Structure 1
Amino acid sequence: MKANMRIKQTVKEHFTDVKDLLIHYSHMVATSDCQAAEEIIKQLRKQSSPDGDSTHRLVLVLADAPEARFTGTGSETYNRFVSKRISTSDILNIQYLLMTVTPFLRATYGIAKDRILKLDGVVKLKISGIDFPRPGFCPTERVDETGRRLAEYAKSFNAPFEYNGIVSKWDEICNEDLKIEKDELLVVNSTYRFRQLESIASDSLRNQVLNFIHGLTPKLFLHGVVSASFNPFFVTHFRQVMLHYASMFGIVDAFVPRENKVRQLIEREMLAREVLNLIACEGAASVERPETYKQWHLRNMQAVFEQIPVESALLGRSQKKLKANFDNRYFMEGDSNWILLGWRGKVLLALSMCKPKKGAA
C-alpha cells in the first residue's frame, strides 16, 4: 500500500505533461514494472476521452496499446479489430472526408493521373485491382465493389473499360493473374499499402514484390509510401509512434467536428488499429511496418528501378493547388526525386515515380 501511494505521489509531482507521462509509462512497460504501470494507467485514463480534443483521444489509444502488450493480448485484440465489418459506404465516407480535409490523397491521385495521361494514348482502359482477402464469408467484397463503381463511372463517360479484380496475398500473385496482353502499356500504382509487407528477412516479401513488379517491365511504377521508421527498442519505438500519430490526430482535430461519426471511425477503427499493431504486436502478428522514403529509395534501387525526375512544373502546379485549397500547415516539397507531403514540418507520406532500369536483367 505504501509503495502504491509513493508511486502515485511521484506521478502527480513529476509528470504534469501527459506526453511525458506516456513516455514514463512506456519505460514501466519495457521493464515489466506492474505496480507503476497500473498507477500510471489510472492517471492516463483521467486524461483521455473518446470525445475530447486530439490529445485526449491520442492518449486513449496510446494507453490501451501498451496495456495490451503488457498483458499479452495484443494479437487477440488486433484480430478483433480486423474481423470487424466496415461497410463499403463507411469506407467511401472515410475516403471522402480525408480527401476533403487533407491534401494527401487528392495530391497523390492528381500526380498519378498527370503522369499516366502523359503516357496513355490507348483507346481502352484496363485496371487490375489487388487487395487482401477480407475476413468472413465475402473475401472479395471490397475488390468486387470497387470494380462495379469504376465500371459505372467509365460508362458515364462512354469510356471503354475492363476490370480485373484480384483477391490474394501479394506473394501468391503470378503474371497470369494480371492478364497482361502483348503491347499493352502497363502502369503499376501502389498507394501506401507496401508498409504491410514483411520487411525483416534478407529476401523479404517487400523485396520479392518489388522484384516481381520489375519483372513486369511497367512503363511507370508510381510508389506512394507512409514515410516513418520505428526503432526496435520499445521506449524509443513508443515515442516515435506517439509523435507520428500525434500529427494524424492533430490533423483530424483541426478540421473535423469532434462529434462527427466518420471522424470517430477514422480514430477508433483505422488509427487505433494501426497504433495497436505497432505497439502491442510482435513477430508474425506485426503487420504495420512503415519505412522512410529514403529506405524505400534504397530498396527500389536494389530492385533495379531508376527514379524518374520530378518535373519542376509538376511540383509547382501541385504546390500551387495545395496552397489554394488547404491549410498552410500542410506542405509539399521535393527531395531526391520524391514528392514529400506532411503537416507542420513533419513528413508523413512520400511519392516517387520509377521505371525498370534499361539494360537490367
Structure 2
Amino acid sequence: MLMEEDVEERNCMFQESLALEATEKLFYDIIREKYLPPDDHQTAPFIEENSGNSDQNGSIDFSTYSRNATSDGNCVELGRNFDVGEYKSPHVAPQPTCQSSFSSSSSAKRVPNIFNDSPNNVVDKVKKKHADEYFRDGWRGKKKSHPWDLESKEERSSKQAAFYNGITVTSEMFDRVLLCGPEEDEDALRETWQNETTKTLQQDGQSKGSGKSHGRTKGGKKDLVDFRSLLTLCAQAVAADDRTSANKQLRQIRQHASSMGDGMQRLAHYFANSLEARLSGSGAQMYKAITTKPSAANVLKIYHLLIVVSPFVKVTNFFSNKSIAEVAEKSERLHVIDFGILYGFSWPSLIQRLSSRPGGPPKLRITGIDLPEPGFRPAERLEETGRRLADYAKCFNVPFEFNALAQKFETVQIEDLKLDNDEVLAVRSRYRFGNLPDETVVAESPRDSVLTLIRKMNPDIFILAIVNAACDTPFFMTRFREALFHYSALFDMLEENVPHNILERMLLEREVYGQEIMNIIACEGLERIERPETYKQWQVRNERIGFRQLPLDREVVEEAKEWVKSCLHKDFIIDEDGQWLRLGWKGRITHAMSSWKPAC
C-alpha cells in the first residue's frame, strides 16, 4: 500500500524509533562488537520491533523491486534483482528448481530479460565500487561488522533538526536488492516453503479458502470456527452501535483468533482489533498508536518475501520497466516522473537495461516525487535516492539527472517538473494513488487533480498500477465486506506459501496488512487514508479526465503469464480484462495495471 490531511505528523519510510531505543541499541552494538566475530553473511536472528511511527503516507510501497529469474526447464526468466544474500533461510534446499542465468548456460525456456542486458563485468564493477561503502539514510558513514544491522534514526518533530545515529546500512545490501544476482536461493526457498505449508495444511485438515479455521486447542480438541460469519455479525453489531452483541461476538472471536495461528486466525485477530477500536470510538488514536514502520533491513525482508512467493512486485516492475524501455527505444533523452519514488529501488534495473541499448543509452532524467520528511531537511531522503541512482548511472555509463520534489502529490505544479519537448516523457504511479483523497472527502478531489496534472504533462506513456479493492465507499458494512474478502485472499496466499514461523511473514501481516485493516475499518473522514478502488472505477475516472488506454504489450503479457504459471503456486491468477493486466489469488483479483496516454 498514502496521504492524509495531517500528513506532517507522520514519519517517513525509514524514520525510526525514539531516543531511548536508539541509546539501548547503541549498547547492543557495543556488546556485539566486543563479543561477536565479524561475519558478513550472518543472518539477522530476529525482527526488529520498532516503536517509530509510519511514513507520512502510511504505507510501504510493495512496487520497488524487480529480479531476473531464469529457468532450467520449468521456471522461466522474468525479472530479478534480489539475492537472498544477507539472510539466507535455514529452509533453503541444497538443489534449487530453477538455475540462475549466471550459472546455467542451457534453459529449456528463456524469456528476454530487459533487466539484465549488461555484461556481468559491469555488474561486478558496481558491486566492487560499493563493496566498502556504507550508507546512512542521508549520508555515508563508517564501516560496521554486520551489514544486516540497521540502527534506528531519532524520531524528529517539525521543530527538531534532522540528525542521524552512527549505525549504518551497507550499500552492499542495496546492491543485492537492486542488481542482478543468482536465482538459486529464491527458487529453493519458494519450493521448500510450499512443501512445508502443504504438509501443514494436510495435517490440520483445513478447508482452503472457506473462511473457516480450527480454533485454539482446548483439551486436545480443535473446534472448526467460521471466522467470516463471526466477523460479519460483529461488524453489523458495531454498525448498529449494539455494544452488548458486539462485545459478545468479539469475545467469541478472540477465544480462537491469534496473530500466531493459521491464516484465518491471524486475519480474525487484526479485524477484531479494528472492530474493537471502532466500537470504542478510538479508531484514529489506535491507528496512530500501532502505525510503526520497520527498519530498512526489515523492509528488505518484506520485499524479499513478496518477491519469492507472489507476482505482485515482480510482475509490476517488469510491466513498468519494459513499457518505459520500449517507448524510449529510439529517443536520445528520457524523462521519468515517479509519483511515490521512496528509495527508487526499481530504477537501477532500468538504468542497466538502457546502458546496453544499441547505439548507446539516452540521457536519463528522473523526477522523484514523495512526501516531505519533518524537520529542516524535508527532501533529505529524496536527495539520497538521487545520489544513489546517480552512482549506478555512473557505473553503467548512462547520462543521468535527478530532480527531487518533496511535497504532496496534489500540490505539484507543472512548472516544478521542468518539462522539455525534446524528451520522451514517462509518468508512473504504482500502488500510491489509492491513498489520495477523492471527491467524497474533499470537494476538489486531489485524486482528480493529480490525474489532470498528468494529462497536462502530455506524457508518451502513463503507467498506473493499483490495488484492486472497493474500499473507498463511505458505507461501513459495504467497505467492511470488501476489506474482509480482499485481505482474506492475501492472508490465505501467505498461509499456502509461507510457513507460520517465518518472521518476515509476521512482520508483513502486523506492520503492513494489520495497519491497513485498522485504517479501513476503524477510521473515517480525512483520517481514513487507505482508499483503494477497483480497476473498473479507475477506468472510468481516467477516461473522464481525458486519458485513453494503450493496448497491452503481448510480449510482456505472455512472458509474465509464463513465469507465474511455471514458477509460482498454481492458485495465483494472471489474466487480462480489456487492456488491464490483472493479478490475484484463487479467483480474487487483488492488483491490476495498465498504460495510458492523453486522448488528445
Counterpart of 2:435 (choices 196, 216, 228) is: 196
Contact 1:88 1:142 survives alignment (8 Å): no
Distance, in Å, in 2 between the alignment partners of 1:135 and 1:44 is 40
Contact kept, 8 Å, 2:497 with 2:569, in 1: the verdict is no
Structure 1 stretch 284-293 or stretch 172-181: which is displaced more?
172-181
Q: CA deviation at 1:145?
A: 4.3
Q: Any residues of structure 2 matched to 1:25-36 within 5 Å, and which?
A: 25-36=234-245
Is 1:257 paired with 2:499? yes
User: Is 1:153 aligned to residue 361 of structure 2?
Assistant: no
Letter in 2 for 1:66: L
* Alignment match, 1:66: 275
* Structure-2 separation of matches of 1:45 and 1:67: 11
Which residue of the other structure, out of 326, 331, 334, is the alignment partner of 1:118?
326
Aligned residues: 343
SS of 1:103's partner is coil
> 1:88: how far off?
2.5
Aligned to 1:131: 370
In structure 2, the partner of 1:329 is 571
C-alpha distance in 2 between matches for 1:138 and 1:99: 33
Amino acid at match of 2:555: A
Counterpart-to-counterpart distance in 2, 1:98 and 1:218: 30
Q: Deviations over 1:3-45 (max 9, x none)?
A: xxxxxxxxxxxx9412111111111101111122222211111
Residue in structure 2 matching 1:40, options 249, 260, 266: 249
Match of 1:4 in 2: none
Q: CA deviation at 1:141?
A: 5.1
User: Hey, what does 1:8 align to over in structure 2?
Assistant: none
The structure number with the bigger radius of gyration is: 2
Amino acid at match of 2:499: P
More helix by share: 1
Identify the match of residue 308 of structure 1 among 544, 550, 568. Answer: 550
1:37 alignment partner, SS class: helix
Q: Distance in 2 between matches of 1:145 and 1:328?
A: 40
Q: What is the match of residue 216 of structure 1? A: 457
The letter of the residue matching 1:333 is: D
Alignment of 1:1-361 (within 5 A): 16-82=225-291, 84-120=292-328, 121-122=331-332, 123-134=362-373, 139-140=378-379, 142-199=381-438, 200=440, 201=442, 203-230=444-471, 231-358=473-600
Q: Distance in 2 between matches of 1:138 and 1:44?
A: 46
Preserved contact between residue 193 and residue 225 of structure 1 (Cα < 8 Å): yes
* Helix, strand or coil at the partner of 2:424: coil
Contact 2:275 2:521 in 1 (8 A): yes
Q: Shift in Å at residue 127 of structure 1? A: 1.2
The match for 2:96 is none
Q: How far does residue 226 in structure 1 lie from its aligned partner after superposition?
A: 0.8
Give the match's secondary structure for 2:369. Answer: strand
Helix, strand or coil for the counterpart of 1:316? Answer: helix
Is the contact made by 1:330 and 1:341 (CA closer than 8 Å) also made in structure 2? yes
Which amino acid in structure 1 is aligned with residue 456 of structure 2? G
1:134 shift after superposition: 4.2
Q: Is the 8 A contact 1:98 1:105 kept in 2?
A: yes
* Amino acid of the structure 2 residue aligned with 1:286: R
My pick for the range that moved more, 91-100 or 336-345, is: 91-100
TM-score under structure 1 length normalisation: 0.89
RMSD between aligned residues: 2.0
Task: Indicate the SS of the match to 1:180.
Answer: coil
Report which stretch shifted further, 105-114 or 139-148. Answer: 139-148
What amino acid is aligned across from residue 371 of structure 2 in structure 1?
F
Q: Tell which deviates more after alignment, 148-157 or 189-198.
A: 148-157
Taking only the aligned residue pairs, the percentage that are identical comes to 38
